Amino acid sequence: MASKAPESPELTVRPYQLRDFDKFDQLVVPEDEPSDGADPQWRQVRRWYGLVKSLSWFPNPFQHLFCTYVAEEGDRLRGMIQVSPINHTRSTWRIDRLLLHSLDATLPAPSFTSDVGSQLIRYCLQTIWEARTWLIEIDKDDSRLISLSRHNGFQPLGHRTYWAIAPHILEALAAEEPDLPNLLPVSNADAGLIHQLDTFSMPATVRQVFDRHIPDFKTGMMTSFTRGVRHWFDKVESVRGYVFEPQRKAAIGYFQLYLCRDGSQPHTAELTVHPEYTWLYPELICQMSRSAQAYPAQALRVTSTDYQPEREEYLQTLGAERMEHTVLLSRSVWHKVRESRPLEALQLPVLQGLQPSRKAVPSRFSLLQSLRLMSGRLQDDSEPSMPRSLPHGPRDELQLPPHSQDPNASA
């Protein structure tokens, strides 16, 4: 399904197709982005494109594995955007990749690039109706892409830093014995504990954007099988564990380690620590260093955010190298539309019919009348067959018939 851009009728945004792989080189790819021939993931998608496309036709865990759209002008690609959900409910989506063509003969390069990027972002916002929040991660030095995101409603959420721990540092840490008496393996039964730890480790604004729940920390049978096959092809081994606090009955630390078996890529780790137990950073990194000694010597990649100063301070003290610094930006699909005319100026016949004919006048509240009505109701509940007449004013008395006229009294 194609959508015409209102500003430029010749520019068309549509889903990615198989024939677009041959036109991929027409895009101006940034230096830090691999091209089609160098990106292993892109080559795998092209090889299995038929299977990947068929999985997007029905609900399954891999329905949005390759959700990509392109901006086309004539027979040339002007831009491409790749998005994916980051939680189980698919309420938050992330822009994984945004590539733009900046060459045009009639328009300045920054203006044309901004127009194409805005059309791609707007198309995703209008097409993917499940998304309530959008997230994008940009290098802090990429001012053009940051400006484009801010122009389309994205606001800064935080900063993320990528670190690399050298192999000789890992070897020195592996010689020490970590003090983790309650280190346990992770299973689906522990999803509630890991979710609670993830909730405590993030500020409220970040937690609202990611919108994670207990199912996000569970692994289904199909997902586990596919992940195992992918790790086998990529020659990657996964190790997970968490630290349990028996007194609080809660998880206070969690790590997931991806170890490369052939040494072709660095090891990576995901680390989550409770803010009140920051002393766990040396112990968990020491435990991960011991696990990495059974594999070829490679650097260990970890991340930190600006709301985790203790982690950044420890990594700096450890001698880790700062590899990349990015900015997280988020955007909600709900916006308050500014009213061009005040509401009182709108002449709506429906609202006029509901307006009162005269100004309301406050009246007195008679306590005596309310008490008499209450006593009458209580008497009616105790004697349901006895008729009575309700009072019509504050001075009226209850009028009860004589006993001679009551059929129950004669009986």
pLDDT tens-digit readout, 278-319? 999 999 999 999 999 989 999 999 999 999 999 999 999 999
Whole-model pTM? Answer: 0.72
Q: What is the mean pLDDT of residues 80-91?
A: 92
Q: What local confidence, expressed as pLDDT, does residue 290 receive? A: 93
Distance, in Å, from the CA atom of 147 to the CA atom of 198, rounded to the nearest integer, reads 31
14-23, 37-46, 121-130, 187-196: segment of lowest average pLDDT? 37-46
Are 3-131 and 161-332 the same fold in CATH?
yes
Superfamily of domain 3-131: Gcn5-related N-acetyltransferase (GNAT) (3.40.630.30)
Residue 217 has pLDDT above 80, yes or no: yes
Distance, in Å, from the CA atom of 313 to the CA atom of 332, rounded to the nearest integer, reads 32
Distance, in Å, from the CA atom of 91 to the CA atom of 274, rounded to the nearest integer, reads 25
Q: What is the mean pLDDT of residues 27-39?
A: 49
Residues near 150 by beta carbon (within 8 Å), at least 6 away in sequence: 329
Residue 41 has pLDDT above 70, yes or no: no
Q: What local confidence, expressed as pLDDT, does residue 209 receive? A: 94
Q: What is the pLDDT of residues 129-153, one digit of tens each?
A: 889 999 999 999 999 999 999 999 9
- Was domain 161-332 assigned CATH 3.40.980.10? no
Domain range summary for the chain, segments of one domain joined by +: 3-131, 161-332
Q: Any idea what DSSP says for residue 377?
A: H
Mean of pLDDT over the chain: 79
Determine what percent of the chain is predicted with pLDDT higher than 90: 49
Q: What local confidence, expressed as pLDDT, does residue 411 receive? A: 38
Q: What local confidence, expressed as pLDDT, does residue 317 receive? A: 94
Q: What is the mean pLDDT of residues 383-403?
A: 48
Q: What is the pLDDT of residues 5-22, one digit of tens each?
A: 445 447 888 888 877 777
Q: What local confidence, expressed as pLDDT, does residue 359 receive? A: 63
Residue 3 has pLDDT above 70, yes or no: no
Distance, in Å, from the CA atom of 314 to the CA atom of 298, rounded to the nearest integer, reads 20
- The dihedral of CA 206, 212, 216, 217: what is its sign? positive
67-81, 198-212, 245-259, 276-290: segment of lowest average pLDDT? 67-81
- The dihedral of CA 100, 104, 106, 109: what is its sign? positive
Q: What is the mean pLDDT of residues 365-381?
A: 65
Q: What local confidence, expressed as pLDDT, does residue 157 receive? A: 93
On whether the CB atoms of residues 101 and 113 are closer than 8 A, the answer is: yes
